[in-house]
Amino acid sequence: MKIETSGPRGSQGKTYIKMKIETSGPRGSLSQQMVKFDIVTRRHVEWTQENCFPSEPVFVASPGAVEEDDGVILSSVISADPKVSPFLLVLDAKTWEEMGRASIPVQVHMDLHGLFIPAAV
């Protein structure tokens, strides 16, 4: 299980009440869902799609965000179905509703944070 917390920039030391969780199946199998869990209300919402495997969710705050979930969640998603191209998933961080996706017709590494190449290279 991986946990991503959200919060306004510079909010170190503040309590986070919402977590974005990437869950794994038995024996470390690939994750097939992402969950937003509110530790105060104990409510959760999930994103999942059959045969799809999301990477670790990344929170991007809206400009001027005040609330800890004011922004979007980004996750690269690969599929076991050869008819489904890899895509970048964009979720509303408050509602967990899909805002969009950008598909590309190439193979993509599982982790969104798995490789960083500076523009200067």
- pLDDT (tens digit per residue) in 42-97: 888 889 999 898 887 888 889 998 888 889 998 889 988 888 999 999 999 989 99
Whether 110 maps to a domain, the answer reads no
Binding residues: 113
Instruction: Domain count for the chain, please give it.
Output: 1
Query: Which residue range is the domain that position 48 belongs to?
Result: 2-103
Q: Which residue has the tokens 């690269």?
A: 76
Q: What is the pLDDT of residues 46-60, one digit of tens each?
A: 899 998 988 878 888
Does 115 map to a domain? no
This prediction's pTM = 0.71
Position 119 in a domain: no
Instruction: Indicate whether 109 belongs to any domain.
Output: no
- CA 30 to CA 107: how far, in whole Å? 17
Query: Which segments are annotated as binding site for Fe cation?
Result: 113
DSSP classification of residue 22: E
Residue 117 covered by a domain: no
Residue 86 lies in a domain: yes
CA angle 4, 108, 85 (to 5 degrees): 105
Residues 6+ apart with CB under 8 A from 93: 6, 20, 36, 59, 69, 70, 71, 72, 73
Structural domain contains residue 77: yes
